[in-house]
Structure formats: C-alpha cells, structure tokens
Homo-oligomer: A and B are copies of this chain.
Amino acid sequence: MANNKISMAVIRRLPKYHRYLRDLLDRDVKRISSKELSDIIGFTASQIRQDLNNFGGFGQQGYGYNVEDLYHEIGKILGLNKKYNTVIIGAGNLGQALANYSSFNRFGFELKGIFDVNPKIVGLTINGIDVMDMDKIQRFVEKEEVSIAYICTNQSGAQEVADTLVKCGIKAIWNFAPIDLKVPEDIIVENVHLIDNLLTLSYFLKDSDGELD
C-alpha cells in the first residue's frame, strides 16, 4: 500500500468518503463512478479520482468503483481493521456522553475504563464501566493495552493528564480540552476544540447579518 506522503487535505477527506460509501452500501448500491460520487459528496470528480489514486487504483475504466470493495479499502487505510482499547479521562458531562456513545465501539474503539480525580464520581458506573481513580491509570493502561485516551477534563487539568498518559505509554490522545497539548512528537493528538468551532460559526453569522454581497 503506497504511503509516500499523503497530504493532510486528503487524509481529512477519507472519513467522509468512508461515511458516504457506507450509506451507499446500506442502500445496496453496487457500483459508483467518480462523477456520481461527486454529485452526492460534493468534491469534484477529478479530486475524488486523484484522492483515491493516492492509495492504489481501486477503480476500473468504463465501470467506476465497486462500492463494497472501496468501502473496505478505505476502512483499511483508516486502520479500521484493527481494534483499539480506549479510556476516558474526566467523567464530567462530556466524558459521560462519550462513554454512552456506541458508534465508537462499532468502528473498533473499545472503551475499557473511565477515570476521574473527583471522589464523588469515582466508583460510579457509566454504561457498565466503573469510574476509577486517576492513581490507577498507569497499571490499567499497561494491563489492558490501552492505546487511545479521550481527554475530557477541564482546561486546567488537561496538560498534567496528558503528561501522565504519555508516561503510561499511551499512543494517541483525543483531546476535548480547549488547549493545545504539549506532547512528544510520536504521540498522536487529535483535537476537538468545540469553542473554536463555535467561534468560526459566529464569524460567519456576524457577516451574514449585514451581508454585503
């Protein structure tokens, strides 16, 4: 599988391809051309062909792409053929919401533990999983072979939690705290900065009020 320098722009489009192909598969569509896919996904046909070609020639001239094959190929590219053990750090509202999401499990992200520092929360059970004290994290990550942690703490605790997780040998962090974590280069961090997203919306909303043209 050719992997020489896929651009960030392409990588961020992959989940969207995956999502639309799953819809097509659910609707029992067998084949699709870049032009047809373009019509529903909104990228140009040329871009679709170029994107997919980064990973190998999945299509066939005169035919298009086999939906099922392409779906599975993109799944593999996204690493969905593997299983990952995960933990949630911070069992506040957001942590609890994530703990109750079943979609993540479906894609192979298995929630193994939930951790918090608040004694009032430690000991509760969320979606069948006990909330443990943070001082148990090291042992747990090692024993359960956890590779991804979802950081759902508030801003002030997030960096310290990240440091701890790195020491535990975690490989990737999904960060929901409104802060840019400092971690070693080989640790993968994906941020969900809700406030940044809302402020972007606000920017466009402001403009749309006194729209110029």
Contacts and interface: CB of A to CB of B under 8 A. Distances in A.
A140 interface: no
A18 B178 CA distance: 12
Contact of A93 (B100, B148, B204): B100
A58 interface: no
A204 B171 CA distance: 10
Contacts of A28: none
A78 interface: yes
Given A82-B206, A206-B78, A196 B148 contact: no
A208 B107 contact: no
Interface residues of A, number: 54
A77 interface: yes
Contacts of A104: 195, 198
A61 interface: no
A101 B93 contact: yes
Nearest to A81: B206
Tell me how many chains of this kind the complex includes: 2
A172 B194 contact: no
A58 B58 CA distance: 51
Contacts of A109: 198, 202
20 contacts: A15-B193, A15-B197, A15-B199, A16-B196, A18-B199, A77-B203, A78-B202, A78-B203, A80-B199, A82-B206, A97-B97, A104-B198, A107-B199, A107-B202, A148-B201, A172-B204, A188-B201, A188-B205, A190-B197, A192-B197
* Closest CB pairs A-B (n = 5): A79-B206, A93-B97, A15-B196, A190-B201, A15-B199
